[in-house]
Amino acid sequence: MNLLYEVLVVLHFIGMAGLLGGLLVGVSEKPLRIKVASLHSGLLVLLAGIFLIIVNAMQHAKDDSVELLDHSKLGIKLLFVVIILVLGFLNVKKSEVKRSTYMTMFGLAVANVLIAVFW
């Protein structure tokens, strides 16, 4: 179970790197467009995060020494990822995305990382 948890953490990190990297690369492009790869990375972040929560709960049920994750923190992170994905999927086919929408997605992705590290 520990190996599965660690593999999911790696997948979660890879997804976050793809999401942030894709958004960061696109900031300097004219016109601003959302890359499909960024959205796929966002889906990887979401799915890996959900499975991390499930595996953590299973580990905690077996062994009380395993610390249960903070669900308020996870709820905020989940909300941010869902907003990123909704904005992304609503604008992915547009020839140009408003800068405010793009920067909102980027800001929420950075905020997600900051919450993970500092909360």
User: So what's the pLDDT on residue 9?
Assistant: 98
User: So what's the pLDDT on residue 20?
Assistant: 97
Low-confidence ranges of the chain (pLDDT < 50): none
* Domain count of the fold of the chain: 1
Closest CA to 52 of 104, 86, 10, 23: 10
Closest CA to 91 of 43, 76, 100: 100
Percent of the chain scoring above 70 in pLDDT: 100
Angle, CA 118 vertex, CA 113 and CA 119 arms, to 5°:
100
Q: Which residue has the tokens 């405010």?
A: 100
Domain that holds residue 67: 2-118
User: So what's the pLDDT on residue 111?
Assistant: 98
* CA 88 – CA 43 distance, rounded (Å): 11
Helix or strand (DSSP H, E) at 39: helix 36-62
Q: What is the pTM of this model?
A: 0.93
